Amino acid sequence: MKPMKQLLVLLCLLHGLYSNAQTIECYPSNWWVGMKNDRLQIMLHAPNIGKASVKMQAYTGITLTGSRKVDSENYLFLDLHIGLAARPGRVRFTITHPGGGVEQLDYTLQPRRAGKGTRYAQGVTSKDLMYLLIPDRFSNGDVSNDKIPGLLDQSLNRDSIFHRHGGDLKGIINHLDYLQDLGVTSLWLLPVWQNNMPDRTEHGYAITNHYKIEPRLGSNADYAALSDSLHKRGMKLVQDAVYNHTGLYHFFVQDKPTKDWLHNWPSYTNTNYKDQTLFDPYAAPSDQKKLVDGWFTPMMPDLNQGNPLLATFLIQHAIWTVEEFGIDGFRIDTYIYNDLAFMNRCNAALLQEYPNLSIFGETWVHGVPNQSYFCENTVNAPFKSNLPATTDFQLLFYGIQEALTKPFGWTEGVNRLYTTTAQDYLYKDASREVIFLDNHDLPRFYSVLGEDTAKYKMALSWLLTFRGVPQLYYGNENLMTGFTNPDGWVRLDFKGGWPGDAVNKFTAAGRTEKENAIFNHLRSLAKYRQQTSALQTGKLMQYVPDDGVYVYFRYDNRKTIMCVMNSNADAKQVDPARFKEIIKNHQTGRDIPTGINLSLNQPFAVRGLSMLVLELSN
């Protein structure tokens, strides 16, 4: 046979053998040996992969316990047991297609991140100051990724509040010095996963690929670089987790593995947003179902966490991100709309692997009893949540906001802050609650206060001295404004984060005198808080407000801090004798923001609309 003819025959044989070969997507993309949970589910995704058979090459400590075909022939699920004897390496699978085509798939098992000596999964606690930012709106560090060919949303328009603006992960890394100087110790970013949707991709909550960083923000390597940069500084990374829903254009929504992958309804059904249906002893089952199984929006399908394959997919992704990127904590989006039994299972799986990891859920509800139901609490209810903490909307809506926007009364004004705090007995540990003034879904607090700088200083003083984990929203420090009509107005760019910006709020020279006054006030308290255990982990004692003046103390065996909030427009006298049981033998108090010293042996005046943060001394 002539050489050319031999080559053609060989090529034909190879084409017949590998005609079914293709790029197979694996989820998770890799895994680790030595995990406490020794089970692993791998989702294989490729055209007609469900028709293939799979065998695993012998590998010490690893057993292929089964493969599962599902409704869609484009998926195949593999179940592995990873024993104690398993070592890092590549596990090889042989995939045989019905037509006779054969291909090899290598799956990587890595050593645990702990072996690299990197601190991670350390948790965000009441010792921290957390800073929430929107990556697309903070800073543009790499203009080359502003637009990505092939993605559905090709917008790039900083003049629109709904289009992409170009902020990215490198932009955040570029400004870690600024954040650390401000006193920030941890970063919470809106979701960073790919959102390949036709529009509104700037917020990140419509995930279309759980294992790929949104390319307009950067790469998986860029996210790892951010995490490493934070940890080298002693800072932490909080990831925004979205379990309840996903983007309509997610590959496993467009091609569902199983018929029950989503919560299906005869016609589109929205959630009713009524959290009460979960604990109301008289609730109609249909109302409960609508809350949990109803969709968040038509563009964000509701995931059926009762499907065991999907539940495992979501849990494994959460674990994967901690191990892959060194996450320190999770904020869980729309917590109340999830299947709570699933969430208990997910929380338990994370805490089993990472006992110090912090987890807090978004609970935009109304009332401390409502909120406490969704986290570890002292309530005698049929369902017991294992979520360690929530975002404390109650201390915002019915606490500090009421204190600074309503006149004092028996139950009004600053009394609402007192009475809301008094209900902390419902939480197992109120010190883990995340307190805040605003976020990406709420009006800017400076705007809520009518841009009253005096009141705003009071709010910041409260935030950095009260119980719980304080969270700042980006731009709080330089008086960013905006109302949620619509939400894009509270998601504006951080000025100075883009090449060519006319002003740069990252520098004192770029801020106005008023902005620098707020920045310095916040910074001084944040820095003081970093050095003061009484504000980080100390106890709280509060006194019944008197004539619009609210006094509380943070204290431990090292220091006592006296906080005096005068919510009146005029000055008020405060008599330290009323607080003798906690002041004890202390003689003076130094106001941390101003450095002014006051005697505790006689009444002293507190200016209208001001707050003292007094470090007591003998």
Widest Cα–Cα separation across the chain: 112
Q: Which of 497, 490, 488, 475 is nearest to 202 (CA)?
A: 488
The DSSP code sequence of 254-291 is: HT-SSTTSB---SS--B----GGGGT-TT--HHHHHHH
* DSSP, res 400: I
Structure tokens at 455: 């009141």
Task: Tell me the catalytic residues.
Answer: 333, 362
- Which amino acid, one-letter code, is at 450? G
The SS3 assignment for 489 reads helix
Contact residues for 159 (Cβ-Cβ < 8 A; gap 6+) = none
Handedness of CA 245, 321, 311, 93 (dihedral sign): positive
Residue 66: φ, ψ to 5°? 170, 160
What is the distance between the alpha carbons of residues 608 and 299, in angstroms, rounded to a whole number? 49
Query: Can you tell me the distance from the alpha carbon of 128 to that of 229, in angstroms, rounded to the nearest whole number?
Result: 17
Can you tell me which residue has the tokens 């005029």? Answer: 570
Give exposure, 554-584, as e/b (b: 16+ Cβ within 10 Å). Answer: bbeeebbbbbbbbbbeeebebebeebeebbe
Q: Which of 393, 491, 390, 485 is nearest to 437 (CA)?
A: 393
> Which residues lie closer than 8 Å to 45 by C-beta, 6 or more apart?
24, 25, 26, 27, 74, 75, 251, 252
Residue pair 537/431 in contact (Cβ under 8 Å)? The answer is yes
